[in-house]
Structure 1
Amino acid sequence: MQSLDEIVLTGLTVFGRHGVFEHERRDGQDFTIDLRLRLSLAKAADSDDVTDTVHYGELAEKVAAVVAGEPVNLIETLAERIAAVGLEDRRVQEVVVTVHKPHAPIPLNFADVAVTIIRRRTPDAMEETSA
């Protein structure tokens, strides 16, 4: 069985215009993203070659483009779009995405609001990868 290692990117903060209220889309706010990719890193560790792993700098840029891009109502939807970016690389078997919205329009004192989703590559997609 193939090992599942992790690449973790935390605290990626990007300005976006997501939310259900008009003022959220007009004024925008910072969103913070935590991303955990699960995949085997054995080949990369052995070869010492960046092409044998997920390039986390490029990944961060793709995720930032999603957050800064087309507005959505819900951070659940934003998390789903980010998860799709993480799964673009067929070596990734699972992605865990947390979207933090620390400036959510809640009229109470709070530190953060976040949504975390976990998405796994389907067995069919895994078979296509190994073929």
Structure 2
Amino acid sequence: MLDRVALRGLRAVGHHGVFPEEREKGQTFVVDLELRLDTRPAAAGDDLASTVHYGIVAEQVVAVVEGEPVDLIETLAQRIADQCLEHQAVREVEVTVHKPEAPITVPFDDVTITIVRSRAHEQ
């Protein structure tokens, strides 16, 4: 069974979306992550090198959101998952991307996508 390290509410401005105004103006995206890994080696040795450095992960996720624009939040979520899985200790990641300023014409609280990716599913 894997342990979980969670980061909630990472915020960054990105220029993602299918509409020109989304690309030009940008908007805030919020990302929640759940990194799944075995933390026993880190706990046994009290060693940061044996786990995942969540501060670095947070910076990398913000860089992805602030980076190259994509049309879909599905694509953005996949890029974030791929970045997280580059960390040796991370075996699986759950990524939720929130788009609270989505261009929807009716009242709403949030739009999200949640994906789960793991090393076991790599092809």
How many angstroms does 1:95 deviate by? 0.6
Amino acid in structure 2 at the alignment position of 1:73: D
Runs of 4 or more, structure 1, over 2 Å off, are 122-125
CA shift, 1:51, in A, is 1.0
What's the counterpart of residue 44 of structure 2?
46
TM-score (norm 1): 0.90
Q: Which residue of 1 aligns with 2:3?
A: 5
Offset of residue 123 of structure 1: 6.9
Give unmatched runs, 5+ long, in structure 2: none
The structure 1 residue matched to 2:116, chosen from 85, 98, 118, is 118
Q: Work out the CA distance in 1 between the residues paired with 2:78 and 2:9.
A: 18
RMSD of equivalent CA atoms: 1.4
* 1:101 maps to which of 91, 99, 102: 99
TM-score where L is the length of structure 2: 0.96
| Higher Rg of the two aligned structures | 1
Q: Does 1:30 align with 2:20?
A: no
CA distance in 1, matches of 2:67, 2:19: 17
TM-superposed CA distance for 1:89, in Å, is 1.4
Q: Which residue of structure 2 lines up, in the alignment, with residue 74 of structure 1?
A: 72
Offset of residue 49 of structure 1: 1.5
